[in-house]
Amino acid sequence: MVHTITSTNIPLGAATFDQIWQAPADTFFQYVPQVLGLYEYECTPHAVSYGMIGTFNVIDGTTNVNNYSSEETNLIIYPNPSPNILNIDGLYSETEYKIYNLIGSLIISGKTNKAIDISNLIGGNYIIEMLGEKPRVMKFIKE
């Protein structure tokens, strides 16, 4: 049976991947990320029926990896932890964002330049990816 390992959501500027895997299990796949951020992928045909999805978050790397750190762009999210509103300082225009849970599922997305309403999230840890000219990935806690 033919399977694929396919990127479903990757950071801005990262290369996509779609690798065929077929028995016997002697096919190997290697992907070297070149951009920091959250990567999501799935195995077809099992993504839906068996939950064969996955994520990895590139948070540090070699000098070949583009570093979109919040320190570099003076981006601040607060309060952290937050019960309802996540304030954002350091954005100069409306910016697209995506919020993921820790297993990599996209929870919320939209555009903002000041604050994001997180009141509908359940309490826990999340990852926010701010897109735009200088993408940034940060963690926050919803109380």
CATH assignment of the domain containing 85 = 2.60.40.3080
User: 51 lies in a domain?
Assistant: yes
User: 102 lies in a domain?
Assistant: yes
> Residues 18, 51: one domain?
yes
User: 64 lies in a domain?
Assistant: no
> Residues 84, 52: one domain?
no
Query: Which pLDDT tens digit goes with each residue over 6-36?
Result: 888 888 888 888 888 766 555 566 777 877 7
User: 112 lies in a domain?
Assistant: yes
**Confidence (pLDDT) at 117:** 96
**Confidence (pLDDT) at 56:** 80
> Residues 49, 7: one domain?
yes
83-86 contacts at long range (C-beta below 8 A, 24 or more positions apart):
83/119, 83/142, 83/143, 84/117, 84/118, 84/119, 85/115, 85/116, 85/117, 85/118, 85/119, 86/115, 86/116, 86/118, 86/128, 86/140
**Confidence (pLDDT) at 120:** 95
Give the span between the Cα atoms of 50 and 137, in whole angstroms: 29
User: 63 lies in a domain?
Assistant: no
Residue range(s) defining the domain that contains residue 20: 2-58
Query: Which pLDDT tens digit goes with each residue over 35-81?
Result: 778 888 888 877 777 777 777 877 654 433 444 444 445 678 899 89
User: 65 lies in a domain?
Assistant: no
**How many structural domains comprise the chain?**
2
Give the span between the Cα atoms of 43 and 54, in whole angstroms: 9
> Residues 52, 74: one domain?
no
User: 100 lies in a domain?
Assistant: yes
